[in-house]
Amino acid sequence: MASTGALPGTPAEWKAKSESLGWKTIHEYGLGNSSSKITEDQFLLLRTLWVKYTPDDLYRRDRALWIDKSNFELAQKFLSSSAIAPTWKKFLDSTSTPPDTLEKQGYDGLHTFSLVRYHQIQSQGLKSNDHDSVKVDMSPIAKRTRNRIKQRVAAQSSPTPGPKLTGLSKSLEALDITKSNPNQPPTTPDRGGGGSNASSSPPTPADFSSPFEDPRIFEAIQDEQIVNTALIEYLNALAIHCKDLKANWSLRRLPLITRDHQGQKIYEARVDGCLERRTDRKPLAVIEVKPFVRKKKLGDIRMQESAQMAAWINSYRPLNTDPKQENKRLMISQDRHEIYLTFAVFGADYVDYICDKQGIDYNKPSFLQMNEYGPFDVGNRNDMEMLGELVLGYALAESQ
């Protein structure tokens, strides 16, 4: 198992990087943080390990770890012999056709996959900027006093004391806890100056700076929509005619809220889409996109995706509580024209940790392991064929 470089890939690497941390849990650290962007300390407190693999590692070696054989074969059969098979083959063949030639020929022969290929080509032509929209809000938003925070720190069983909380903004005490649930739209905390009217007067548009004032951010948001459209259309084209699939790929920007054991909101993450089971809209996989290639901001992307996965586990806790069995979840990421499948693995002990179960031993850490496979290139025929069988097989298995 190879290390991923700057971020820990093994428990030993995590231990070496986290020894200097004063806090023991993400729930305590989140109380005193005032930044919306995840920090390295917060990432370490999420207890996440990243391991990198290739597409062939997944398709030819590890597939059985994540997708059961029967559903994978069902996906293969559907794509090779159902009514969609001729269109699927034309789509795969089109990946080797130059964009200019394809535009002259027209996309109509691709039918269900015509818009897929159109937006994939657009994603391939995006400029290489590294600007992004905020997906994780780690800033404090609950109504918490210094006394309450100190009580939590004093209640820790660990002999290592937490750092003193000096310099917290006065506005921290004026912020109200939202009573939203994971199906409600994302909330935006009041980040005013904390004066006497800060909690009583509703904010006006002038109180907030708009990301559209920065043309680079505006362009990044536009580009991100292209990438998100390309990925969602690809996934839906694979699934829309498959009658055995009991779930839908959705553009819903699912809010995922991490709460402590008392229900207080620690941080909020949002993803760009999800696979929803039709019966109860439970998310079976989540989608995350970026308008630039992954290597440009690899550490930042992985830290953000760690926070999103941890929030998903906290918001939708697995039914399996057997300490001897592991849980798995899938995040599908498209960064510009490259797609990654990241399979998260975690046990019941990690669920206890991220959900702030009281009485657990923080000195015996449990981990969330993120197994990243990719990139699958949207302009590579073999990659698109492998990816189609893999994601359809996974969706079939999870939606049963």
Domain-located, residue 210? no
Domain-located, residue 326? yes
Chain mean position to CA 342: 9
- How high is the pLDDT of residue 324? 84
Domain-located, residue 2? no
- Dihedral sign, Cα of residue 345, residue 351, residue 352, residue 357: positive
Q: If you ran DSSP here, which 8-state letter would residue 36 be given?
A: S
Q: How far apart are the first and last CA of the chain?
A: 32
Output the DSSP codes for 127-191.
---------EE-S--S---HHHHHHHHHT--SSSPPPP--S--GGGGGPPPP---TTSPP-----
- How high is the pLDDT of residue 146? 43
Domain-located, residue 354? yes
Domain-located, residue 206? no
Domain-located, residue 267? yes
- How high is the pLDDT of residue 257? 93
Q: Which stretches in the chain have pLDDT values below 50?
A: 1-5, 34, 141-149, 157-213, 217-218
Output the DSSP codes for 210-241.
-GGGSHHHHHHHHHHHHHHHHHHHHHHHHHTT
Query: What is the residue range of 112's domain?
Result: 11-199+215-398
Cα–Cα dist 126/291, whole Å: 7
Domain-located, residue 5? no
**Number of separate domains in the chain:** 1
- Nearest Cα residue to 246 out of 58, 70, 71: 71
- Dihedral sign, Cα of residue 354, residue 355, residue 356, residue 359: negative
Cα–Cα dist 251/34, whole Å: 30
- How high is the pLDDT of residue 186? 43
Domain-located, residue 208? no
